[in-house]
Amino acid sequence: MFVPKLHCVPEMLEYSYLVRVKISITLPKELLDRIDRVVKNRSVLLERAAVAYLPQLERDARDKRDSVIINRSSKRLNREALDTLEYQQVPRVASMPGGCFRPAW
């Protein structure tokens, strides 16, 4: 049995013919023609494409959720950051040239 190797997809080292579910999809003829010029087995190409593309979609969804959480808390987080920066300011010494900063220690 021929088992094509997957390149650039470390999660799947080999294409396995086990545990597959048959589905029916509709694609434009031009896309099918391009696929057929490149590979003999459309399923292999479509599986490889999905395995390569899904991490990007999952990362985008995670980033979107994170942005919603950050934006929801942005006013509070900005206030906390400003309070911290204000607390950490080094006092100026007027008697030093140019009003230099003096370490707080």
Position 52 in a domain: yes
Q: Which domain holds residue 60?
A: 43-79
Task: Output the pLDDT for position 96.
Answer: 54
pLDDT above 70: residue 39: yes
Position 64 in a domain: yes
Q: How many domains does the chain have?
A: 1
The most distant pair of C-alpha atoms in the chain lies apart, rounded to whole Å, by 86
pLDDT above 70: residue 25: yes
Position 71 in a domain: yes
* Rounded (5°) CA angle 27-33-35: 80
Position 7 in a domain: no
Higher pLDDT residue, 86 or 17?
Answer: 86
Task: Output the pLDDT for position 85.
Answer: 84
Point out the least confidently predicted range of 18-22, 45-49, 56-60, 77-81: 18-22
Task: Output the pLDDT for position 3.
Answer: 45
Question: Binning pLDDT at 50, 70 and 90, where does residue 64 land?
Answer: very high
Position 27 in a domain: no
SS (H, E, C) the chain: CCCCECCCCCCCCECCCCCCCCCCCCCCHHHHHHHHHHCCCHHHHHHHHHHHHHHHHHHHHHHHHHHHHHHHCHHHHHHHHHHHHHHCCCCECCCCHHHCECCCC
Rounded Cα–Cα distance for residues 52 and 38 (Å): 17
Higher pLDDT residue, 26 or 77?
Answer: 26
Position 50 in a domain: yes
pTM of the full structure: 0.52
Position 88 in a domain: no
